[in-house]
Structures are given as C-alpha cells and as structure tokens.
Structure 1
Amino acid sequence: MNGHSERQPDPKIIDLLAKEPENIAHVSLEYFPPRTDQGVKNLHARMDRMLANTKCLYTDMTWGAGGSTADLSLDLALHAHKTGHVSNMHLTCTNMEKDGDPIKAVHDALRTAYDGGIRNIVALRGDPPEGEKEWTATEGGFTCALDLVKYIRKNFGDDFGVSVAGYPEGHPNRISQLSEKEIANMSEAEKGRCCTHDGITYVCKDEDYKKEMDYLKEKIDAGADFIITQMFFDAEVFKTFVKDCRTWGINCPVVPGLMCINAYPGFKKMTKFCKTRVPKSLEDKMDSMKDDPEAVKAFGVEFGAEICRSLLDSGSKILHFYTLNLEKVVYGITDELGITSGLIEESNESDAKDMVAVGSAWARVGDTVKFSAGQGVVKEIKSDGAAVVEVDGKDVEVAKGSYEKVF
C-alpha cells in the first residue's frame, strides 16, 4: 500500500503504550464530530491547543450513531493525523453502505484511513441509527465488533493497531432491571456494579457478565491489541474489571475511559441512559449543586482528579478522557495531577454552543429542546429525524435540524 500523507504514518498505539510514560501518566483525548461547519473549525483549533498543552499520546475521533458522521469522522481523523496527532479512528458496523455493499463501505474507509497515514482503529458495533431504539445489522454487513476485528486482520494483516470497547459494568444491552427479590439476592459481584436510577435498580447479572467477558476475550483473541472502557464513576468497578480480564486470560492493556463532568443535566441524562453506577456520595453532591453550573464544573475537576489518582495508584499508565469537545475540566484535572500546570486559567469554552454532536446522541426522548415556536420535552424521535415535542400539554412535530437541545 502506498500512503499519500505528507507526514510519516502514525505509530501503533499498542507500541506507544509499551513505553513507560515520561510524566505522571499518558493522556489520551476523545472528540466527536460537531454538527456545524463552525463547530468543525473550532474543534480543529481546540484539538491543536489540547495536543500542544497535554502532549496527549493519541487522539480518538468517534463515528456517529448510525453511521451519521462517517465522512466527517474520517475527515477529522485524517486532519488529526496531518496536524501531528496519533489518530485513533472509531469505525462501526452500523448503517455502513457503499454502492449497496456494506463490506465495501468499511473496506474503503479503512483503505482511505491507511492511505492518509492512520494506523489505529477502534473497532465497534456502534449505536442504533437516528430515530431507532434497537440496533440491527445492515443486510450483508457485519453483525458485531468481533466481525470487524476479524475483517481487519484478514484483509489488512498487521497494518493497523486495533482497540475495542470494554464494559466494566456490562454492556447497557445486558443490564437488567431487578425485582425486589432479585435485589435481595444479588451476589457480591453484582452489588459492586449495580446502579439505581429513579428508584429502579439495574445490574448486569453474573451470567450475562460472564457472556460479556467471554465475548471480550474473543475480540482480543481475534487480534485486538487493547481495550478502552466505557465511562465509569466508581474506580473500584474499573479495578475489578481489570482483575476479571486477567482471570479470563485477557492480558492486554486496559485503558480507563473517563467521562468529564461538565454539567448537571448532561451527567444525569448520560448516566441514566447508559445505566452507569453512580456512588451515593457522588449523586448527593451533584444533586446539591444542580443549580450552580460553575460549581459543577469545579467539582468535575475535583472528582476527576480524585478518581484519576486512584487509577494511577492501582497501576494505570494512561487516562483516556471523553472531552465532550470541551477543555476546561480536562485541563483542571491534568493541572491537579501535575501533568500540566496553569492550563485551567487559559481554557476558553466560549464556543461550547457549537460543539454539539451530529446524530441522535444530541437529542433523545426525554431531552428538553427549543425551536421557533417555543420549548418542550421530546416524546419521540421519528425515523426521518423529526421530533415529537410536548409543549404546554400538546404534541408538536418539529422537523429534523429545526430544534436544538437545551438539556
């Protein structure tokens, strides 16, 4: 294969992870494609700043829900490589099709990435397309991330470093609502990863957690190099997950994925949507500050630094931040850890309104949105992206692109 990148091809992340960090820890940063052209320009500038300021080991670019950002994700991942980042491009199996052929779409994306100097891929199943609640495979396409890992290794050999997702609390699709009897009979392991939202207790039951770990082992055995985890807010859950990986014979690096706490509404919605375990002390603290956005950000720094210290003390060599396309909390955490110094005072988030993601992730059922006729709560997202919004007790259908999430 002949590359067309002006820069040398990226090193593989697995090789970088094998080296001892020069500072307290390696940092990696994850971004998503914004919805607007201005957002993309602003993201370019933010990525440049954050690379220079944090010396991040690598930079992830996500692939939008339902393949909604395929072209933009690829463009941004290539831009990252061209501007000095080690680019780690997410690639999903969802809604990928070219000339009626889903396999060709994936192959062409991989070829374009390779020719552009990218050498690292995050192989994922992906989320449902916009307006759909359930994930279904594209006809003739891949059915899961394992298929994608196998395809990459079969057709590209060792040309790419490959990472996969890990779920310390179990994949949300395997997390079950418990009855009172089931709550009373939870195992100690289940108690350690269960969560409660709106008075309902959920957990990935032991038998389902075993299936999750067996599947993760298959992905590693098929050729994945390392694991990046789903977000978590309880360090003990991550530590247990790493121990379980070793018990299952999964001996590759396990990178902790850390969701930065930037705002109360976003924190509540994301943790509920993903059925994430939230320790009672954290829940109470967040609830006490829900009407003070600046206090929430300051606490996001404090809590983030605390959980990072616990992870570093347990042997983690890298901290992977889900930045939400923002910088202040990330800088605050790295400043607190001594990885950087004085960056939080230099942070600039005046462009936050332009950093909204493409695709269904930016508006879901239950979100509050605003549009020309007012503001209301989303009751339904239709297959064409239109939203049914309840406004003053009446349902109003609002066309895709005509509404904006408030929270």
Structure 2
Amino acid sequence: MRVSEVLQDNLKNERTSYSFEYFVPKTSQGVLNLYERIDRMRELRPLFVDVTWNAGGSAGQGATSTTEMVAKANKVYGLATCMHLTCTGMSKATIDSALEEAYQGGCKCILALRGDAPVENEKWEATDGGFLYAKDLVKYIRDKYDDYFEIGVAGYPEGHPEQHDDKLLIAHLKEKLDAGASFVITQMFYDVNRFLSWVELCRAYGIKAPLIPGIMPISNYASFMRRVKWCEINVPSEFMAKLDAVKDDESAVKEVGAQLVAEMCKTILELGHIYHLHFYTMNLEKSTRSILDRL
C-alpha cells in the first residue's frame, strides 16, 4: 500500500503512524553505526524510513551512497523506504542513474526536492541539463516511471528563506502535487498554531493530499538554536522560555525538549485531521524514542 493510501486509511480509522529520516554519514564507521541504529529502531515499526541525498546534496560523497543505504534498509532490514532526490548538482543522466538504482533496490517512493544552493553560490541555479524546480523533477519521474514510484514533496508552513509569501508558496505546492506528487512532508517547525493555520490555508486552496508534519527532536540547545536560525522559523515565547531556563544543563534540555515536542505532536494528533508524524532523527535514536514514549 502506498504512503498516501495508508495515511488516508489512518484518517478513516483514527490510527497513528510515523516515519524516520536518516542522512548518509561521511565515514564508513558512521555508516556502520547508523545501520545498528536503524536495526534497533525498526522495532518501533515505522511506516517508512527515508534517506537524504548524500547528506550534502551531491552525488558521490560519503562512505556509501543514498541508493546503497536505501537498498539495504529495504532488503536487509525489511523497511519500506523513501529516497530523497534533489535537483541540486544533478544532471538528467545522474537522476536517471539514481532512479534506476532506487528501482533495483526495491524503493517505491521518492521525495522530490529542488534542494539548497551550494554554499559557494549566492543563488540557486539548475545544473546544465538538469531541472530548475521540484515540479519539473516530479513530472519527469512520473513520465519516465508512470505510477511505479509514489512521489512526495516538501511544504513550508514557516515560509522559505527565498520566499515568505504563504499564498505563493502554497500555489507552488499545488503545482508540485498537480505534476504527480501525492503527499507532502513539511519543513521542521515548533509553532504548532502556525502549522495548523498553514494546513487550513492548504485545504482552502484545494490541496487534498496528506500533509505530514516534519518533527525535529531537540537533542541539545546549541544545535536547536542553529537549526532555528538556519531555517528562519518561529519559536513561541513560552516554548523558548522553558528551554532557556535549562540551556546549560544538557540532560535537562533533552528532557524538557522531549516534553515540549511531544506536547506539540499531541496537539496535532488530537485534532483528528493528521495522524502521521515524520521525525528528522539526525541519525540519533534516543531523542525520537523519548518523544514516542511520551505519546
């Protein structure tokens, strides 16, 4: 059953599910450590796991490739997989190769993304022979593989660093779905009310596809602040105050952070419109488990 079909079934039967995201480590030892975590975390029975495109967004980096990791998660650990695929630094030939390897590895789901500009570039530009927008990548995958791959795309309830007009971003999201995508995973957020308002705006615009909240656990204060700044997202004052009060105590930050994020998830689930959570694990196990324990 496809992700979007499971999520529609969840809605009908009020059943909760969740998924985990991992990135490809840059060393062989890091890859081995991650496989051990994936093996332990599969006992949590995620609906699927997804793997980012080579951690840095370009092919060939790291001790292993995204497609190798996807194939192993699928064939060795028995997990349904979703593979990230970005336009950044990707020629059509490279994308063709990645899709073929995903196909051979048993992957049936692609998260199609434009991706971020390389650090050395001031603005995002397509690679010669590549794609300019995620919607173009979605259409290409759909034209080449018909309905074999289910395709997910990204949503931005907090706005995008390059665009803060919610209506325009939602219009672009609708274009990606109309091109052939069937579900949406959002950027991380901590302002649950803003997320819920964004969901209402999407529905009012005619978007009916499942909208999956992207949940980022809080493992330590410094990394939390870096991500908030980098993604330009809002943190409610009461949320921030509770973390600020314990910021010099790492164990307390983990405890308070887990409780705050769990409460945010509970608010989403109890409304009865969304029953799936997508965890950005950052290749860590305990923070995600801690939130699930509270739920």
Query: How does the TM-score come out when normalised to structure 1?
Result: 0.68
Structure 2 vs 1, CA of residues 75 and 290 (structure 1 numbering), >3 Å: closer, same or farther? same
Structure 2 vs 1, CA of residues 75 and 237 (structure 1 numbering), >3 Å: closer, same or farther? same
| Conserved? CA contact 1:29–1:323, under 8 Å | yes
Unmatched 5+ stretches in structure 2: none
Cα drift, residue 328 of structure 1: 1.0
Question: SS in structure 2 opposite 1:213?
Answer: helix
1:231: which partner in 2? 188
- The match for 2:199 among 242, 246, 251 is 242
Matched, 1:31 2:13: no
2:280: which partner in 1? 322
The CA distance in 2 between the partners of 1:67 and 1:278, in whole Å, is: 31
Structure 2 vs 1, CA of residues 69 and 268 (structure 1 numbering), >3 Å: closer, same or farther? farther
Cα drift, residue 69 of structure 1: 5.6
Question: SS in structure 1 opposite 2:72?
Answer: helix
The CA distance in 2 between the partners of 1:120 and 1:127, in whole Å, is: 21
| Conserved? CA contact 1:239–1:314, under 8 Å | no
Q: Which moved more, 1:72-81 or 1:16-25?
A: 16-25
2:89: which partner in 1? 95
The CA distance in 1 between the partners of 2:68 and 2:37, in whole Å, is: 16
2:34: which partner in 1? 43
The CA distance in 2 between the partners of 1:146 and 1:273, in whole Å, is: 24
Matched, 1:61 2:51: yes
1:260: which partner in 2? 217
2:69: which partner in 1? 76
- The match for 2:6 among 1, 4, 16 is 16
Question: SS in structure 1 opposite 2:162?
Answer: helix
The CA distance in 2 between the partners of 1:336 and 1:142, in whole Å, is: 42
Matched, 1:331 2:282: no
Matched, 1:86 2:80: yes
The CA distance in 2 between the partners of 1:65 and 1:173, in whole Å, is: 19
Cα drift, residue 140 of structure 1: 1.9
Question: SS in structure 2 opposite 1:159?
Answer: coil
The CA distance in 2 between the partners of 1:237 and 1:327, in whole Å, is: 27
- Kindly provide the CA deviation profile for residues 155-197 of structure 1, in whole angstroms up to 9, marking residues without a partner as x: 11101000000000111211xxxxxxxxxxxxxxxxxxxxxxx
- Kindly provide the CA deviation profile for residues 27-74 of structure 1, in whole angstroms up to 9, marking residues without a partner as x: 11111111211110010010111111x110000101133415676111
- Kindly provide the CA deviation profile for residues 113-166 of structure 1, in whole angstroms up to 9, marking residues without a partner as x: 112211000000012224444322101210010110010111111010000000
Cα drift, residue 12 of structure 1: 2.6
The CA distance in 2 between the partners of 1:282 and 1:79, in whole Å, is: 39
The CA distance in 1 between the partners of 2:3 and 2:260, in whole Å, is: 28
Residue correspondence of structure 1 range 171-186 to structure 2 within 5 A: 171-174=160-163
Residue correspondence of structure 1 range 86-165 to structure 2 within 5 A: 86-96=80-90, 102-165=91-154
| Conserved? CA contact 1:229–1:256, under 8 Å | yes
The CA distance in 2 between the partners of 1:132 and 1:230, in whole Å, is: 22
The CA distance in 2 between the partners of 1:46 and 1:282, in whole Å, is: 29
1:291: which partner in 2? 248
Cα drift, residue 249 of structure 1: 0.7
Q: Aligned-pair RMSD on alpha carbons?
A: 1.6
| Conserved? CA contact 1:33–1:61, under 8 Å | yes
Paired residue type of 2:6: L
Paired residue type of 1:238: F
Question: SS in structure 2 opposite 1:18?
Answer: helix
Matched, 1:280 2:237: yes
The CA distance in 2 between the partners of 1:129 and 1:75, in whole Å, is: 24
- Kindly provide the CA deviation profile for residues 199-223 of structure 1, in whole angstroms up to 9, marking residues without a partner as x: xxxxx2xxx2221111100001111
Paired residue type of 1:142: F
The CA distance in 1 between the partners of 2:117 and 2:71, in whole Å, is: 25
| Conserved? CA contact 2:81–2:109, under 8 Å | yes
Of the two, which has the highest radius of gyration? Answer: 1
Structure 2 vs 1, CA of residues 116 and 68 (structure 1 numbering), >3 Å: closer, same or farther? closer
Q: How many residues align?
A: 289
The CA distance in 2 between the partners of 1:134 and 1:269, in whole Å, is: 21
Paired residue type of 1:148: L
- Kindly provide the CA deviation profile for residues 260-287 of structure 1, in whole angstroms up to 9, marking residues without a partner as x: 1111000111101110111111222222
Unmatched 5+ stretches in structure 1: 1-10, 97-101, 175-203, 338-407
The CA distance in 1 between the partners of 2:293 and 2:97, in whole Å, is: 41
Question: SS in structure 2 opposite 1:223?
Answer: coil
| Conserved? CA contact 2:70–2:105, under 8 Å | no
